[in-house]
């Protein structure tokens, strides 16, 4: 009997290739970076923990010189010098950090050629370049909204124009009569809408943004992007008021009101400053600790005096859990946030929060008055009235903070959860729609 030597073998299945994602952030990394950049640092760390072969992620940011910083073999930060950075134009200096104003970035365009999905997070140079590359290559283009660009544009253009025009008749004409900052803000809103219309899918974190995106793309192409939290890193056990006194000179004999963010009008720091002034004048001894760079730091110190306020500028990220846990109230009057990391971080540390009811962070408070305080107006008197009852009632503060921590434990996912449940499905669907199926 002759045996055949041609036994059949199953055709080997192709090895799945990782989904290749390029995330575009037209901002610089570093100690002074805001929540937008920090958000993508956390997502990159989460991606680094995924099994090999799942995802290949590059987060592009601005740097003075080109750098590649790997987290793992499949996750990295790629820093590129801006094509026309705002640092070149001194009168454009403002508190949000520098960006790139060029219409195209040729070095970035070459780097994006092999990505399955180009994911934009703003409407500046990196995003414009990604849109052009996606159109040329037929690649998927997605976006997530991280900032209230119209609001920021109005605030910072007012700051810039006020320096140029002064406070006389010309300034009043430009800033108030003609409302040039408001016009620029509305124009920024129209640019955002036009950019979203070019995207395959959009992720949002605020109800107003969802309404906007639904009207442009339809609800089937719009989804929710949550924020994550590391519950071990941000924990009440880090409370150490004595260390605050040693490190920053913060007195330990009075309630401490903490603010973390840009110390400028986009975050309404002076609403807190004026509320604290009222409290002090009414006989309530408080101390304000404002962490972050900005042009209102000096104004805060002048208003309250160094005995009642500390404004150290930006501090390392590793210092934040200790600051949150050691303060008595987190007071954040900003109305321009989409989904502020600092509010979740404070609540995870068991710190009671006092927030604007009109801000994106208000949605983190489950039951106002029970696990957080919401203020309906920017009137400093209203903020002082909301804060005052808690100053001499440590048990009420502790109860608010404990309930806030419990809500975070129950409702807030990890950064990896958000990556896997919110971002990956959107990227996979967009890639498949463009004929690029991957793992």
**What tens digit of pLDDT does each residue of 335-367 get?**
888 889 999 999 999 999 999 999 889 999 999
176 and 322 share a domain? no
**Of the candidates 381, 183, 144, the residue with the CA atom closest to the CA atom of residue 277:** 381
pLDDT at 7: 47
Asked whether 52 and 439 are in contact (CB, 8 A), the reply is no
How far apart are alpha carbons 354 and 13 in whole angstroms?
Answer: 57
Q: Are residues 334 and 210 in the same domain?
A: no
Residues 218 and 311 in one domain: no
Helix, strand, coil distribution of the chain in percent, nearest 5: 45, 15, 35
Q: Is the pLDDT of residue 13 over 70?
A: no
Q: How far is CA 69 from CA 30, 66, 109, 122, in A?
A: 13, 10, 19, 22
Report the alpha-carbon distance of residue 219 to residue 221 in Å, rounded.
5
Q: Can you give the pLDDT at residue 165? A: 84
Sheet (strand 201-204) strand order: 67-72, 75-80, 55-62, 19-28, 117-120, 140-144, 201-204, 222-224
* Domain presence at residue 314: yes
Q: Is 380 in the same domain as 334? A: yes
pLDDT for 11 beyond 60: no
Q: What are the tens digits of pLDDT across the range 229-279?
A: 999 999 999 999 999 999 999 999 999 999 999 898 889 999 999 999 999
Residue 4 in domain: no
Residue 220 burial (10 A CB sphere; 0-12, 13-18, 19+):
exposed
What tokens were used for 190?
Answer: 């129209």
pLDDT of 2: 42
Give the pLDDT score at 438: 53
Structure tokens at 229: 């939290």
| Comparison of pLDDT for 33 and 63, the residue scoring more | 63
- Does 368 share its domain with 258? yes
Residues 203 and 249 in one domain: no
CA 214/CA 202 separation, integer angstroms: 9
Instruction: Output the pLDDT for position 437.
Output: 58
β-sheet bridge partners, residue 62: 28, 80
* pLDDT on residue 163: 80
Q: Dig out the tokens for 43 from the structure.
A: 């997502």
Give backbone dihedrals phi and psi of 131, rounded to 5 degrees, phi first.
-60, -40
Is 393 found in the same domain as 366? yes
Q: State the pLDDT at residue 369.
A: 94
If you average pLDDT over residues 11-32, what whole number do you get? 81
Burial 346-376 (b: 16+ CB within 10 A, else e): bbbbbbbbbbbebbbbbebbeeeeebbbbbe
**Residue 95: per-residue pLDDT:** 60
Answer with the residue of higher pLDDT: 100 or 192: 192
Residue (of 186, 191, 184) closest to 156 by Cα position: 184
Count of domains observed in the chain: 2
Residue 439 inside a domain? The answer is no
CA distance 256 to 147: 28
Whether residue 77 is predicted with pLDDT greater than 70 in this model: the reply is: yes
- Judge if 407 and 419 occupy the same domain: no
d(CA 346, CA 332): 11
Q: What is the mean pLDDT of the chain?
A: 91
Whether 9 maps to a domain, the answer reads: no
Sequence-distant (≥ 6) Cβ neighbours of residue 144 within 8 angstroms: 119, 120, 121, 202, 203, 204, 205, 225
Would you state the structure tokens that stand for residue 244, as one six-digit string?
Answer: 């605050």
For the cut 90, the answer to whether the pLDDT of residue 88 exceeds it is no
Q: How confident is the model at residue 1 (pLDDT cuts 50, 70, 90)?
A: very low
| Structure confidence at residue 175 (pLDDT) | 82
DSSP 260-293: ES-SSTTTTHHHHHHHHHHHHHTT---EEEEES-
Asked whether residue 46 is domain-assigned, the answer is yes
What is the predicted pLDDT for the residue at 91?
63
pLDDT at 87: 79
Q: pTM, whole model, 2 decimals?
A: 0.89
Same domain, residue pair 273 and 419: no
52 plus 196 within the same structural domain: yes
386 domain residue, yes or no: yes
Same domain, yes or no: 335 and 372: yes
Kindly state whether residue 139 falls inside one of the protein's structural domains. Answer: yes
Given a cut of 60, whether residue 66 has pLDDT beyond it is yes
Q: What pLDDT was estimated at residue 237?
A: 96
Q: Find the radius of gyration of the CA atoms of the chain.
A: 24
Q: Which two tokens stand for residue 68?
A: 């590649």
pLDDT tops 90 at residue 8:
no
Q: Which two tokens stand for residue 80?
A: 């590129």
From 267, 289, 424, 276, select the one nearest 340 (Cα to Cα): 267
- Range of 310's domain? 236-411
Instruction: Summarize pLDDT for 115-172 with one digit per residue, the tens.
Output: 999 999 999 999 999 999 999 999 999 999 998 888 888 888 888 888 888 878 888 8
Q: Are 78 and 59 in contact (CB under 8 A)?
A: yes
363/401 same-domain check: yes
Could you tell me how far CA 82 lies from the centroid of its own chain?
21
Q: What is the CATH number of the domain that holds 41?
A: 3.40.50.2000
Backbone angles phi, psi at 114, to 5 degrees: -105, 5
| DSSP classification of residue 172 | H
Residue 70 lies inside a defined structural domain of this protein: yes
In angstroms, the CA 181 to CA 175 distance is 7
Contact 289, 257 (CB under 8 A): yes
pLDDT at 380: 97
């Amino acid at each position: 009997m002759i045996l055949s030597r041609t036994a059949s073998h199953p055709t080997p299945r192709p090895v799945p290739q990782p989904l290749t994602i390029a995330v575009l952030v037209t901002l610089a990394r570093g100690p002074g970076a805001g929540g937008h950049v920090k958000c993508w640092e956390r997502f990159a760390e989460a991606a680094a923990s995924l099994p090999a072969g799942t995802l290949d992620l590059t987060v592009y940011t601005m740097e003075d010189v080109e750098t590649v910083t790997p987290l793992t073999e499949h996750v990295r930060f790629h820093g590129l010098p801006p094509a026309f950075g705002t640092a070149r134009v001194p009168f454009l200096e403002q508190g949000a950090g520098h960006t790139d104003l060029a219409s195209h970035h040729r070095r970035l365009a070459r780097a994006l050629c092999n990505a399955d999905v180009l994911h934009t997070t703003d409407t500046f140079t990196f995003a414009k370049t990604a849109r052009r590359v996606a159109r040329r290559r037929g690649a998927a283009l997605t976006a997530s909204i991280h900032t209230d660009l119209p609001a920021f544009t109005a605030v910072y253009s007012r700051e810039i124009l006020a320096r140029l025009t002064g406070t006389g008749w010309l300034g009043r004409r430009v800033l108030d009569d003609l409302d040039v900052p408001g016009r620029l803000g509305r124009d920024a809103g129209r640019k955002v809408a036009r950019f979203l219309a070019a995207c395959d899918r959009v992720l949002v974190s605020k109800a107003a943004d969802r309404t906007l995106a639904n009207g442009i793309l339809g609800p089937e192409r719009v989804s929710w992007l949550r924020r994550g939290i590391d519950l071990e890193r941000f924990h009440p056990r880090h409370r150490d008021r004595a260390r605050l006194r040693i490190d920053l000179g913060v007195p330990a004999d009075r309630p401490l009101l903490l603010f973390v963010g840009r110390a400028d009008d986009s975050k309404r720091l002076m609403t807190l400053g004026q509320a604290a002034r009222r409290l002090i004048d009414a006989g309530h001894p408080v101390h304000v600790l404002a962490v972050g760079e900005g042009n209102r730091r000096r104004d805060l110190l002048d208003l309250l005096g160094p005995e009642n306020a500390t404004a150290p500028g930006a501090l390392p990220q590793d210092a934040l859990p200790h600051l949150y846990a050691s303060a008595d109230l987190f007071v954040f009057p900003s109305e321009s946030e989409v989904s502020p990391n600092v509010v979740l971080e404070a609540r995870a540390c068991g710190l009671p929060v006092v927030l604007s009811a009109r801000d994106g962070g208000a949605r983190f408070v489950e039951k106002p008055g029970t696990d957080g305080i919401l203020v309906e107006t920017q009137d400093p008197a209203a903020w002082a009235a909301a804060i005052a009852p808690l100053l001499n009632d440590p048990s009420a503060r502790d109860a608010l903070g404990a309930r806030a921590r419990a809500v975070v434990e129950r409702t807030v996912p990890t950064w990896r959860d958000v990556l896997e449940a919110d971002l990956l499905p959107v990227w996979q669907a967009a890639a498949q729609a463009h004929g690029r199926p991957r793992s």
